[in-house]
Amino acid sequence: MLSSTHATAMPQGMLPGASLHSAEAGAVQIDAFGPVEDEDHILVLGGQGPELMCALLRAGAANVTHLRAYERPEADSASLVIVPRVNSLDWLATVLPSIRRALTTKGRIVVRAGGQPGIVTQIRRMLTLHGLSTIHVQTTSDGQVVSAERPRRQFA
């Protein structure tokens, strides 16, 4: 039995670069994830997987994979990792090493933090401790979204 979902084809009838608008009923908000058309491989980790995968494909993403929260992604396999829901800060602390390992150089992570007060500061601290940089926080209708990049490798 396969435990992950993988989609690589863009749905027919949808133009590359098209995105979902918040006015659509039941639309998954993807605006906070930034441009997805040029991402080599997007990995969705945890909740809202199938709905988010479809929204990303409609927005022009070419390669999207969904893994359940307990699955470990392959090394250097994703240019963008999206965590649509943080189950708990302990869970995030546990999966961040695997997420960082999965990111390609200059790859991005986007974490939907929700509306819990104080959680963003702790997420920013965790991302920094795992060597991620260029950390940004954006407020959306669904709460706050934290993004960061894996920096280029530094050679001595």
Question: What is the SS3 assignment for 64?
Answer: strand
Query: How does pLDDT run along the chain (156 residues), one tens digit per residue?
Result: 334 555 544 444 443 443 434 434 345 678 888 889 999 999 999 877 888 999 999 999 999 999 987 888 999 999 999 999 898 999 999 999 999 999 999 999 999 998 877 899 999 999 999 999 999 999 988 889 999 999 986 554
Query: Integer distance in angstroms from the first to the last C-alpha of the chain?
Result: 45
pLDDT of residue 27: 53
Domains and CATH numbers, the chain: 29-149 (3.40.50.150)
Element (H, E) at 121: helix 119-129
Q: What is the pTM of this model?
A: 0.80
**Phi, psi angles (nearest 5°) of residue 124:** -60, -45
Q: Which among 65, 83, 82 is positioned nearest to 74, based on CA atoms?
A: 65
pLDDT of residue 155: 52
What's the longest Cα–Cα distance across the chain? 52
β-pairing, 78-83 vs 133-140, is unpaired
Place of tokens 């189950």: 87
β-pairing, 143-149 vs 103-114, is antiparallel
pLDDT of residue 94: 94
Give the CB-side neighbour count of residue 64, counting CA atoms within 13 A. Answer: 24
pLDDT of residue 154: 56
